[in-house]
A and B are shown apart, each in its own frame.
Chain A
Amino acid sequence: MKNELVREWMTADVITVTPDITLPEADRLIVDNMIRRLPVIKNGKLVGICTYGDIREARPSPATSLSIWELNYLLSQLTMGEIMTANPVTISPEVTIGEAARLMLKNQISGLPVVDNHHHLVGIITESDIFRLVVQQWENMEESPEPYVRYR
């Protein structure tokens, strides 16, 4: 089970953003698609990742001595480039699920962007994907269960 490849279980159709996308636009994408992270792509390469936690903690600088209106305006102008976690932990499609799971636990994250040798994003693999694999194997299911995005 743990020797299955990332390639077989990742979601290839990833919702991504570019560094110039604003905080409210990213927030909207995350909520509407019921996802937990947005890989940030620049010139076809993965440059960062933005999670709800990053959005929640975003603060414009300088944040002091601003009126509530100025603060709100600046927040709405913040871009992914400013908020994202740059150089995120990634995984190759050719390694095992076991390795993906180990990396997630070790880094205390629940999702890994999957990249090829040229740092192009080819998919994403999450704790939920691995959970589905485990349940499928336990139940000897014939059909693969549906992916994470519709979970609450």
Chain B
Amino acid sequence: MREALVKDWMTYGVITVTPETTLPTAHRMMTENEVRRLPVTDESGKLVGIVTLSDIRSVETSPSTSLSMWELNYLLSRMTVGEIMARDPVTITASASIGKAALTMLEHKISGLPVVDDEGLLTGIITESDIFSMVVLHEWKAHELDEAEEEHEPLPGVTIEVTNE
């Protein structure tokens, strides 16, 4: 399973943002699409950074300042992804193995890797969740366990007769 390739397990249609996208817009995109990270690309589709839900939440939950709620909200609404994104994100290629992708995530303490081609253009993304689902469904056959659970009938009682011969 670890020899499976990234290209067979990655998500191809990645939701992305640009450095000019505002934080509230990025946050809403993550919520609506149920993703935890958004690769950041420039006009040519080249990967320039990555922003995670954690990053945005850290900014939103800042310690209280002398600013009023209105002032704080105004400032937050104008902040852009470019100001908080991680530049030069760790990436992987589509031809790499899942094992390599997993090890890379672990080593860098991240849970998602943008997939790029030789020119640095974003082609997809692979996450810890993808690998988890893949291993559990295909290697551990979770769906078979589910089916077994559903088909299982209670065992009939067994009566043993003891006779004296």
Contacts and interface: CB of A to CB of B under 8 A. Distances in A.
B61 A27 contact: yes
A101 B136 contact: yes
B12 interface: no
Given A2-B140, A102-B145, A152-B111, A134 B135 contact: yes
Contact of A152 (B110, B135, B139, B142): B110
B129 interface: yes
Contacts of B86: 152
A113 B86 CA distance: 32
Contacts of A138: 2, 99, 102-103
Give chain B's interface residue range (CB within 8 Å of chain A).
20 to 34
Contact of B132 (A28, A56, A131, A145): A131
Contacts of A134: 102, 131-132, 135
Interface residues of A, number: 32
Interface string B38-69: 00000000000000111101100100000001
Given A98-B140, A131-B102, A132-B106, A31 B57 contact: yes
B128 A102 contact: no
Given A52-B57, A98-B145, A132-B106, A105 B136 contact: yes
Contacts of A27: 61
Contacts, number: 82
Contact of A34 (B54, B99, B106, B146): B54
B31 A135 contact: no
Interface string A104-135: 11100010000000000000000110111011
Given A28-B61, A102-B146, A128-B111, A110 B129 contact: yes
B133 interface: yes
Contact of B109 (A1, A56, A72, A146): A146
Of A34, A145, A152, the most chain B CB neighbours within 10 A belong to: A152
B137 interface: yes
A38 to B, nearest CB: 14
A2 B110 CA distance: 23
B129 A56 contact: no
A132 B131 CA distance: 11
A139 interface: yes
Interface of B: 2, 31, 37, 52-55, 57-58, 61, 69, 86, 99, 102-103, 105-106, 109-111, 128-129, 131-133, 135-137, 139-140, 142, 145-146
Given A2-B140, A134-B131, 11 more contacts: A31-B61, A34-B54, A98-B140, A99-B145, A101-B142, A105-B133, A131-B102, A139-B99, A152-B37, A152-B55, A152-B86
